[in-house]
Chain A
Amino acid sequence: MKKICSQNFVRVFRQFENRLNAIFQRNTELVEGGNVRSSRQKDPYRYKKKLISKENVTVEIRVVYDKVADDYLYYSYNIFFENSKLMFHYEPTHKEHFQPHINVYVGGEELRNTGGEGIHILSHKYHPFEILALLERYFV
């Protein structure tokens, strides 16, 4: 993934926010969050957003970004639709799973192996604009 350098994080998420609002403009029922939260020091950036469309697609986003290391500390981009979910996660402190990973839930059930273990599909570190492209292509 191309790094979202600390100076650009605000700009990237502002563009993300504007675009997300634009693509769901006519069919959104609920919107929460959407601001980048920061402190004047070198603390991380945080971005949180929840959006529910009239077609009942729910998008939940939570991002924590380390300004100094210029890398994510955590992200979760969750897309809920018709009793199914797509969950894009990155949580390096959870070492028992592949990081970053994607979880798939179909009909309320998580995709599992024969041993009953939930499958965490290894992925690359997603850029917010890639998630945006996915939302535009399949959920609007």
Chain B
Amino acid sequence: MTGPCVIFFLHSARQMCKLEQKNRKEGKAMKVSSFFSKIRSFFFRSSFPKYEEEGVIVMEREEFAREAREEFRGNTTLLKAIEECMNRHVREHERVSLTD
């Protein structure tokens, strides 16, 4: 959690510096609302970069696993393969089981 927060604040500070420099050049006072809109756009862009496309349903992992379990019920070898794929690069507590 600390990592993303630090990155977020560093980015915010950098954005603020850039804005200040720009405003100084243009001789304008910086608007707080424009600063926050910059931060908001950065936040939304970075969180949902590739799921804006039409026809894609983005789900929680548990929900995704539950649907896969229902769809391929009885096909244990395939469920095992999907399970392995899902648990490949995740932490222990994030692991899901499709074959229990």
Chain A residues packing against B (C-beta within 8 Å): 7, 10-11, 13-14, 17, 34-44, 46, 48, 62, 64, 66, 68-69, 73-74, 91-94
**B51 proximity list for chain A (CB < 8 A):** 38, 40
Query: Of B3-11, B23-31, B34-42, B61-69, which binds chain A?
Result: B61-69
Chain B residues packing against A (C-beta within 8 Å): 50-51, 53-61, 64, 67-68, 71-72, 77-78, 80-82, 85-86, 88-90
**A69 proximity list for chain B (CB < 8 A):** 85
List 8 extra interface pairs beyond A17-B55, A62-B71, CB under 8 A. A14-B53, A36-B56, A37-B57, A42-B89, A44-B82, A64-B68, A68-B88, A92-B81
Q: Is the CB of B90 within 8 A of A41?
A: yes
Q: Is the CB of A40 within 8 A of B58?
A: yes
Closest to A6 in B: B50
Q: Is the CB of A94 within 8 A of B77?
A: yes
Q: Is the CB of B61 within 8 A of A43?
A: yes
Q: In whole angstroms, how far apart are the Cα atoms of A85 and B61 in the complex?
A: 34
Q: In whole angstroms, how far apart are the Cα atoms of A48 and B68 in the complex?
A: 11
**B71 proximity list for chain A (CB < 8 A):** 46, 48, 62
From DSSP, what is the main secondary structure of chain A's interface residues?
Answer: mixed
- Quote the shortest CB–CB distance from B67 to chain A (angstroms): 7
**A17 proximity list for chain B (CB < 8 A):** 55
Q: What are 28 A-B pairs at a CB distance below 8 A?
A: A7-B50, A10-B50, A11-B53, A14-B55, A35-B56, A37-B59, A37-B64, A38-B51, A38-B56, A39-B58, A39-B59, A39-B64, A41-B61, A43-B86, A44-B86, A46-B68, A46-B71, A62-B71, A64-B68, A64-B82, A66-B85, A73-B78, A73-B82, A74-B72, A74-B82, A93-B78, A93-B80, A94-B77
Q: In whole angstroms, how far apart are the Cα atoms of A36 and B58 in the complex?
A: 8
Q: Is the CB of A39 within 8 A of B88?
A: no
Q: Is the CB of A39 within 8 A of B67?
A: no
Q: In whole angstroms, how far apart are the Cα atoms of A10 and B49 in the complex?
A: 13
Q: Is the CB of A74 within 8 A of B78?
A: yes
